[in-house]
Structure 1
Amino acid sequence: RHITSSEPFARLRLEQMMLMLGCGVAGFQLASFAPRSAMLVPHQPRALLPTMGMDISELIEDAKKSRLDHLEAQAMDALKVAVDQFENVVFPNAMIVGDCVITHLLGKIGALESGKAKVMVVDTYHLFDETMPFLADVEAKYNFEAEVFGPVGLTSARNLSPETFAEFDKKYGANLWKEDIEQYDKVCKVEPFQRGLKTLGADIMINGRRRDHGAERAYIDIAEIAPIGGGLAKLNPLAYWTLEDCFDYAAANGVPLHPSVERGYPSQGDAKDTVPVPDPDGLSGVTGEAGAVRWVNGEWFGDKAIWLDYGSERRGRFVNLVNKDGSKKTECGIHVAGAEKTFDRDLWDNSENVITLGSPDEVKALKESGKESVVVVYAPWCQFCQAMEDEYTKLADATGLPVYKFRGDEEREFVSAEMNTKSFPTINKISVAGDAIKYESEDRSVEAMAAFATSA
């Protein structure tokens, strides 16, 4: 509603507000029927504002500086508690903007050079070309060496050559991400992530989650204690920051950011499914010239709000990727519940009801035995395999059939050719004739699996 000069109460409140800002009402005139955005009309030229004790640009800059100083102190205090109170502090670093800020803060408290905090990087073999060279620059700047984990069975953790691309393609297939995105996530992201945490013995994980990422993170706090029964404590030092705070802090403190921000990419994931924002085809949800919004040497070019709006940081990620249920992909699998869980044992390792097949030859012998059985092809790091552990244990009693397990992530070519396996877990009924009949349902309750095993 409009404020008019005939409303004494509104005028009084306005006068009070102006006095709080350090200037009188003489410098402003009230518009009787102006729109809200034009209620306060400057009466003096901008150049004269400082003489009245009010410089808008200085006010904004002072407020930003005070905010960043507070956020920095808060984050550094939290990081100091982590490195002082925990034995194995691990920071999974994807080199997105927030992660670059955390790297700087860890360097500032001496936790990187001292080795009190370990930086862990997952190399999916599909990252931007600049990512690994950028990591090397960051390592040199802050005097540390990251622990890099890639897909199982590849010789180079840091994929920097055509030879290692060929090695990946031979083992996993060049189009794995197109054929089965969930399996790609398991192989290239979730398993290396879990293996990294386990290898480094992590008891607290630092990550860059913030409340402004979206509704699912809107109420996270700066720290999350380890759950009862075990698990990782988590530190979210940027929980109360915004993406704009991260860029402002980087500009003010000389924090190096991933080179792709200069080409219009607000977030850095896999190059195969990440586009600049905006992009010419509108795949990010914003149509426009690539690089129209960018951040170069601490300065914004273009409409920064396109990047900074609530929940918009990852709008150029996961382009054209679809989950099995047909929904649009918004997470890579690392940040879903339970993905950070690590295992010090194999699945069904103490089960009397599930028999281990230790080699491809043993699988072949079972198929040639002329006896019916059930075999699950699994990977111990796979969260879906983990989830079915209890139900599968009950299957032998429910069916009267011998029930087996075979670890497939170490024999991918064999299980693909002999056991119908493109993803984990894959359950097969072995017939008297030696055929492997695949269980196609994702219902892994003992009732559903037993119904399949006794009717197939």
Structure 2
Amino acid sequence: MPRSDLAPRVARLNARYRHHSATAVLEHALHDPDAGSLALVSSFGAESVVLLHMVSVARRDTPVIFIDTQMLFAETLVYQQELAERLNLSDLRIIRAWDAELQRHDPDGRLHQTAPDACCALRKTQPLQDALAGFDGWITGRKRYQGNSRADLEFFEVEDATGRIKVNPLAHWAPEDLRSYMEENRLPRHPLVAKGYPSIGCAPCTSRVQNGEDPRSGRWRGQQKTECGIHFVNGKIVRQGENA
């Protein structure tokens, strides 16, 4: 779809579905011409099962992109396989960085220790951008409560740098909404949640969270870094809320 009308289309989508529920936003987005061709990008992390289940109900053949950084917890890989089978996801696409790129930029697997942003770019951002080629937009599980950079999140966003739309059906949900949805639908939790990991990324960069800490405090603990990079291009956030 043409990039020239991206902002007007996103504005129309936000106006059209402003007062809809998360499930309605997702279902309509998957069929609305203004949204175009969409893929769900999922980490199969702590809260991913909610959006995966919604997609499996609304449109099971929606492409689901899972980025295997090759540094994930073993529990995440097992959980991904179990969920894909349980939800009968018919178009799961597992992507990884090219071996040649890993050999060139991170031959000893220690890049995350010295340059975590570069590691995320190598193992997550670039593979994802390659996988999203041909799609008009992608569906994310981001929510407003997850941090300051997401506090004004809308259902639909402009991603100017790539010419794609982002769809955030769970933008307005709170933690209790997620818990209720999982309980009502009897969905399995990621096994690491019960062990103190409310936000789960790569194993070397994820630590347990203590009671009272922010749920994302275990990601890149002790560093200024708060995002993996897939929502940024050239170090800048690649979204622009359209709510006018």
TM-score (norm 2): 0.78
Q: Distance in 2 between matches of 1:220 and 1:174?
A: 34
Contiguous gaps of at least 5 residues in structure 2: 1-19, 236-244
Q: Which residue of 2 aligns with 1:217?
A: 150
Does the 8 Å CA contact 1:97/1:246 hold for their aligned counterparts? no
Once the 2 structures are TM-superposed, how far is the Cα of residue 168 of structure 1 from its aligned partner? Answer: 6.5
Q: Residues 8-407 of structure 1 correspond to what in structure 2 (within 5 A)?
A: 74-85=21-32, 86-109=35-58, 111-112=59-60, 115=61, 117-144=62-89, 145-153=91-99, 172-198=107-133, 201-224=134-157, 231-278=163-210, 306=212, 312-320=214-222, 322=223, 328-336=224-232, 338=233, 383=234
Does the 8 Å CA contact 1:98/1:243 hold for their aligned counterparts? no
Does the 8 Å CA contact 2:38/2:138 hold for their aligned counterparts? yes
Q: Distance in 1 between matches of 2:163 and 2:130?
A: 14
Letter in 2 for 1:146: L
SS of the residue 1:276 aligns to: coil
The RMSD of aligned alpha carbons is 2.5
Does the 8 Å CA contact 2:46/2:190 hold for their aligned counterparts? yes
Once the 2 structures are TM-superposed, how far is the Cα of residue 181 of structure 1 from its aligned partner? Answer: 2.0
Letter in 2 for 1:134: Y
Does the 8 Å CA contact 2:96/2:123 hold for their aligned counterparts? yes
Once the 2 structures are TM-superposed, how far is the Cα of residue 226 of structure 1 from its aligned partner? Answer: 6.2
Letter in 1 for 2:166: K
Does the 8 Å CA contact 1:82/1:204 hold for their aligned counterparts? no
Assess, with a 3 A threshold, how the Cα gap between structure 1 residues 254 and 224 changes in structure 2: closer, same or farther.
Answer: same
SS of the residue 1:244 aligns to: helix
TM-score (norm 1): 0.43
Once the 2 structures are TM-superposed, how far is the Cα of residue 99 of structure 1 from its aligned partner? Answer: 2.2
Q: Distance in 1 between matches of 2:159 and 2:125?
A: 20
Once the 2 structures are TM-superposed, how far is the Cα of residue 169 of structure 1 from its aligned partner? Answer: 10
Q: Which runs of 4+ in 1 moved over 3 A?
A: 167-171
SS of the residue 2:112 aligns to: helix
Deviation string, structure 1 residues 356-375 (Cα, Å, up to 9, x no partner): xxxxxxxxxxxxxxxxxxxx
Q: Distance in 1 between matches of 2:107 and 2:226?
A: 23
Letter in 2 for 1:90: A
Once the 2 structures are TM-superposed, how far is the Cα of residue 191 of structure 1 from its aligned partner? Answer: 0.8
Q: Distance in 1 between matches of 2:185 and 2:199?
A: 20
Give the number of aligned pairs: 212
Assess, with a 3 A threshold, how the Cα gap between structure 1 residues 277 and 182 changes in structure 2: closer, same or farther.
Answer: closer
Q: Distance in 1 between matches of 2:121 and 2:156?
A: 27
Higher Cα Rg, which structure: 1
Once the 2 structures are TM-superposed, how far is the Cα of residue 216 of structure 1 from its aligned partner? Answer: 2.0
Assess, with a 3 A threshold, how the Cα gap between structure 1 residues 180 and 225 changes in structure 2: closer, same or farther.
Answer: closer
Does the 8 Å CA contact 1:243/1:313 hold for their aligned counterparts? no
Q: Distance in 2 between matches of 1:253 and 1:194?
A: 32
SS of the residue 2:99 aligns to: coil
Contiguous gaps of at least 5 residues in structure 1: 1-72, 155-166, 279-285, 287-305, 323-327, 339-382, 385-456
SS of the residue 1:172 aligns to: coil
Q: Among all aligned residue pairs of Structure 1 and Structure 2, give the percentage whose two residues are the same amino acid.
A: 29
